[in-house]
Amino acid sequence: MQNIKHMQFLDSHIHMTSRTTDDYERMAAAGIVAIIEPAFWMGQPRTEVGSFKDYFSSLVGWERFRASQFGIKHYCTIGLNSKEANNDALAEQVMELLPLYACKEGVVGIGEIGYDDQSEIEDKYFRLQLELAKELNLPVQIHTPHRDKKKGTSKSMDVCLEHGLDPSMVVIDHNNEETVKEVLDRGFWAAFTIYPNTKMGNERMAAVVQQYGPERIIVDSSADWGVSDPLSVPKTASLMLDRGIPEEHVRMTCYQNPLDIYSKSGQIKESDWIEKKPIDQRVLFNENSVLRGQQPKIESESNIIK
């Protein structure tokens, strides 16, 4: 990836709770300066509202701190994911939590929300969360279903418009070649999760940008606890340059576009990482460290309070 060494990237959909500190180190070395971590399903259904509370707290607390220890600015979106929305009794309790976290520092939107099975109960909680986003004037990040994706994507946009959301405030994620045209034609942001072997690969992503251009298109990784790659954004950027896509188009899709939409929250701006503090891994979070006894990295002694 020599051709991107001078570039910076913003991965606007990555689940770092599932990743290791090694990933943070590799991401920073590859030029990723900021990330957005959407609230999502952890792989096993949660059974108590307290587990959601602890999870949301970690997104705005520990994970934000952990990223900073490797020079990356961390933001998140807060929401009840579609898969767990099917537990009605639990979902009602989670809805009471959401306003408490959606207004916290570093929260840039409501998400990821939407449909999985496209059930009536998913629809109920999708609509409630759209209303919350409207009330708080926050961007929305929508998870489109893996099954019957085209129908679910169209329905997601229909419901957003029914609730009076401005398409320019809504990111439709997990797109593919079947959905992208409608999403762009209707004025929404079209995000693509790049996976090593499934969903969108970076070759296909490059072809999409070549066909549609960079306007309102976002490249992200969605790296999580499954087979995925936290370097999908810089790797895709490198490939796009190799395919002759102009560097400005690469910068837009892998950095500027996600910054533009999520900055509407008032919680993320470019100066956050341009003017970031030097790394000091001696700093603790609730008396905890990322080091596990290793030598701390200290970038500038002159800026450390003795």
CB-CB neighbours of 287 under 10 Å: 5
pLDDT in tens, 217-251: 999 998 888 889 999 999 999 999 999 999 999 99
* Helix, strand, coil share (%) of the chain residues, nearest 5: 45, 15, 40
The Cα-based distances of 220 to 1, 27, 85, 95, 111 in angstroms read 17, 13, 24, 27, 15
Residue tagged 């790659």 (tokens)? 229
pLDDT of 296 strictly over 90:
no
Residue 304 has pLDDT above 50, yes or no: no
Where do the domains of the chain lie? 2-300
Kindly report, residue by residue over 8-55, the tens digit of the pLDDT. 999 999 999 999 999 999 999 999 999 999 999 888 889 999 999 999
Q: Which amino acid is at 258?
A: P
Look at 37-46, 62-71, 186-195, 287-296 and tell me which has the smallest mean pLDDT.
Answer: 287-296
Element (H, E) at 140: strand 140-143
For domain 2-300, the CATH architecture is Alpha-Beta Barrel (3.20)
Q: Which residues contact 176 (CB under 8 A, 6 or more apart)?
A: 149, 192, 199, 200, 204
Query: Residue 290 has what pLDDT?
Result: 84
- Give me the phi and psi of 104, to 5 degrees please: -80, 160
Residue 88 CA to residue 3 CA, distance in Å, equals: 49
Q: Say if residue 200's pLDDT is above 80.
A: no
Q: How far is CA 48 from CA 117, 220, 281, in A?
A: 22, 30, 34
Q: 69: Cβ–Cβ under 8 A, 6 or more apart, which residues?
A: 21, 24, 279, 281, 283, 290
